[in-house]
Amino acid sequence: MEADELRKLPSVDRLLQEEAIASLAVQWGHDLTVHAIRETLEETRQMIREGGICPPLPGLARQIAERLTAHLRPTLRPVINATGVIIHTNLGRAPLSAEARAAMDAVAVGYSNLEYDLKTGQRGSRYVHAEELLCRLTGAEAALVVNNNAAAVLLILMCFARGREVIISRGQLVEIGGGFRIPDVMRQSGAVLVEVGTTNRTYLHDYEAAITEATAALMRVHRSNFQLLGFVHEPSLSELAELATKRGLLLLDDLGSGTLLDTAAYGLAHEPTIQESLAAGASLVSCSGDKLLGGPQAGIIVGRAELIARLKKFPLTRALRVDKTTLAGLQATLRHYLLGEAAEKVPIWQMISQDEASLRARADAWVRELHELGVAAQVVPGRSAVGGGSLPGQTLPTYLVALEAESPNAIAARLRSGDPPVIARVEDDRLVLDPRTVLPDQDATLHRLVAQALRSA
C-alpha cells in the first residue's frame, strides 16, 4: 500500500508541466517554484509513510501554491489591533500620523539633504534635523536623536560616567520589556552603580552620603511598567538637581516613555513631561520617540548644549544614529505638537482622547454590522490600557464588542491567521474587541474577518 502510493507521486518535471504549476513558475520564478515542489513532495512522502494517500495533482498544485505564498509573504505584516492597548509594544507601538508617513515617504523615494548643508553646499550634519523643534517644544538648549531610549541611556552613561560612579535609588533599578535592566546597562556602559535607599523609601540624604570623588552623576529612572504605593518616599527631581549642582555633578533623568502633553488632562495620572524635567534642573533627559510622543522609534536626548555637543562627538553615537526616514517622521510628529494639533493628528493621542459617547456609538455600529453578517455580538463596558511602559495601572473607560463563541481562544487564533491578522483579547471567557485601538478605515475589514473566523469554527 505504502509503495503503491509513493509510486503515484509525480516527478518535479512532471509537476512543472501542469498548467497551474507552470503559471506559478512564471509568477514566482523557476527556482523558487522547484524548491516549493521538492518541499511539498518530501512532506507528502512523509505523510504517505505515516499511512496517508497520495493527493491528486490539483491538490498537490494547491499545496505548492500555498507554500510559495508562505515563503514570499513578509514576516513583518500590518495587523488590526483590537486589544484596546494603545501603545502595544508587541504590535509596533505607536501608529504614525498621515503627515509623518507622508514625510517619511517623501525622503525615502529619492535623495535628501540628510548630511548636506543647502546654504553652504558643503557636508552637513544629520543631527540638526529635529533638534530645533525639540528645543522649542521642551526648552532644552540642545538635542540629539538616536535609535531608541535604551541606546540613549547607554550612550549617556558611556560618555559621561565610564569608570565612575552613578548614584540611583534602589526603587528605580527597574527591568522593562525584553529583559532591559538598568543594572545591566550600567555594567555594560562601564559606569559603577551605587545603590542608595531602600526599595520603597529613599531620601535626599541617602544620595548625599553616597557621593565620593569618583561620583559622576545622580540618576533618576522612571519605573515605566509598575508603581510603588503605600509607605513610599523619594526626593523630587528639583531637590536632586540642587544637590547635583552643589556638588558639581550631572543629573540624568531617564523618563522612559516621555511625553510633551499633560496626561492628567485626559483622565489619567500625571506623567512627568520632558519640559518639567528640564525645568526642574536635569542636566540631560532621555525618552522614547515611539511611545507617548507618538512618533517613529527613536531615542531622544535633550539638555545642556555643552553635554549634547560631547555626545554628538562621542564615537558610539555613529553606531546609534537614526536614518533619514526616522528623522523625517519625527519632525512631522513634533510639528503636530508645535501647532497644538497633537490630540487631533497623532493617532495615540486621538485614541487616548476619545470620549465614551463616541466609543459607544462605534461599538453599537459594529454590533449592527456584525449582526447583518450573521455574527452574534453585544456591547459591554470595559477598560483600555495606555501600554508601552507608560502610565502603569492606568486605564481608560471604553465599550467592548463581545462575541458569542463556545471557544474564544480558538476564535482568537483564527483571527490571528487572517489577512490581515486581527489581534483581540479574551476577557471573562469572552472574545472582546475594543474599538479604541482599531483605526477608522479598518472597520469593514475587521467585520469581514470576524465573520469568516466564526463561520469556520
pLDDT of residue 226: 64
225 pLDDT exceeds 70? Answer: no
DSSP label of 79: -
pLDDT of residue 457: 63
pLDDT of residue 178: 63
pLDDT of residue 421: 96
Domains of the chain, each with CATH number or no CATH = 2-72 (no CATH), 80-89+349-455 (3.90.1150.180), 96-342 (3.40.640.10)
Condensed to tens digits (0 to 9), the pLDDT of residues 442-453 reads: 999 999 999 999
Task: Decide the pairing of beta strands 142-146 and 122-123.
Answer: unpaired
What number of other Cβ atoms are within 10 A of residue 255's Cβ? Answer: 25
Condensed to tens digits (0 to 9), the pLDDT of residues 148-192 reads: 999 999 999 999 999 999 999 998 887 776 667 888 888 889 999
pLDDT of residue 29: 87
Q: Taking a C-beta distance cutoff of 8 angstroms, is the pair 390, 271 a contact?
A: yes
Mean pLDDT of 243-265: 95
Q: Which phi and psi (to 5°) does residue 314 adopt?
A: -70, 135
**HEC-encoded secondary structure of 91-154:** HCECCCCHHHHHHHHHHHCCCCCCCEECCCCEECCHHHCCHHHHHHHHCCCEEEEECCHHHHHH
Single-letter residue type at 25: A
Whole-number average pLDDT of the chain:
92
pLDDT of residue 1: 61
- At which residue does the C-alpha cell 500555498 appear? 66
437 pLDDT exceeds 80? Answer: yes
391 pLDDT exceeds 90? Answer: no
